[in-house]
Amino acid sequence: MNRPLYSIRMQASRNGHHLSGAERLSTAIELEPLAADMVQRALGHMRGRAETIQISIEEVAEGQIDYVALPDLRTYLVDNYGQGRQAAAGLLCQAGVSPLAIDTAMAAMASGAAPDGRSMRGAMLIDAVSGRRLEPDQARGVRVSRMDLTEQARQELALGLQSLGLDNAHVREALVLAGKVLTTPGIVAELCWSDDPDYTAGYVASAHQGYVRFPHLKPLGEERGGRAFFLAAGQHKLPELINYLQYRPLLFDRIGQLNRPQPWVVQS
């Protein structure tokens, strides 16, 4: 990639509520088309046209960029969101998250994790054992930004996802975001399901399992969704952790294994 790189971020809202967001790292020449795409996305969102769109662009210092590999991707086919959530809970448990913390996250995401019962703009931070919520602002949550793919990794990922019928913005962007979350010191796992009513998929991500998707983690038509990052118990260095998620620039220059979907086998 040519230098310098810029962080470009979009945040759109309607009626004072979060609608859509996007974040990329880009060269100067790509900034204008990217900004135009982001505006289009905010104006054409299926949950309504954005009333407020904020785009911010900041140069990223070259020496700060880390280069890493994306996690492996796996899809387990489940019959419905009930089975999906059970399967997701099983994987989170294996990653060291307690049943209490899993329940806290799923209950909050299902009922709207923000105080007004809507989805949060960013992620919840949850102690992986006590289930205590730790994000300083429970309306906003913590947003992850300043991460992207190198051009070559972007092309490889698009080709690989195409061959699985999965090359859409939800998958590409969530995989990159989860990839950064998994490099964050102090985070043991992530749970996410979409807040877009027509998109029922979600995933669990952890260092050992990689990015594990389920086509159903919520009912069709449901707008409540979001993200929970589970923090290693009792080792909360919140300012450092939040600073890393928001500001540490990360470029993925290698993709992981992209596995064919397989049926979820119910564990007895």
Site for ligand PML in 179-218 (CB under 6 A): 192, 194-196, 201-203, 213
Is 127 or 148 the residue whose CB approaches ligand PML more closely? Answer: 148
Is 65 or 156 the residue whose CB approaches ligand PML more closely? Answer: 156
Give, rounded to a whole angstrom, the gap between the first and last alpha carbons of the chain: 49
**Dist CA 119 CA 140 (whole Å):** 9
Is 127 or 193 the residue whose CB approaches ligand PML more closely? Answer: 193
**Dist CA 242 CA 221 (whole Å):** 32
Chain centre distance of CA 167: 16
Residues 6 or more apart whose CB falls under 8 angstroms from that of 162 comprise: none
- Cα torsion 131, 134, 140, 145 to 10°: value is -100
195 near Mg ion, judged by CB under 5 A: yes
Is 83 or 130 the residue whose CB approaches ligand PML more closely? Answer: 83
145 near ligand PML, judged by CB under 6 A: no
147 near ligand PML, judged by CB under 6 A: no
**# of chain residues touching Mg ion (CB under 5 A):** 2
Question: Least distance in Å: CB of 47 to Mg ion?
Answer: 8
Per DSSP, the three-state class of 201 is: coil
Span of 40-48, 99-107, 167-175, 235-243 interacting with ligand PML by CB under 6 A: 167-175
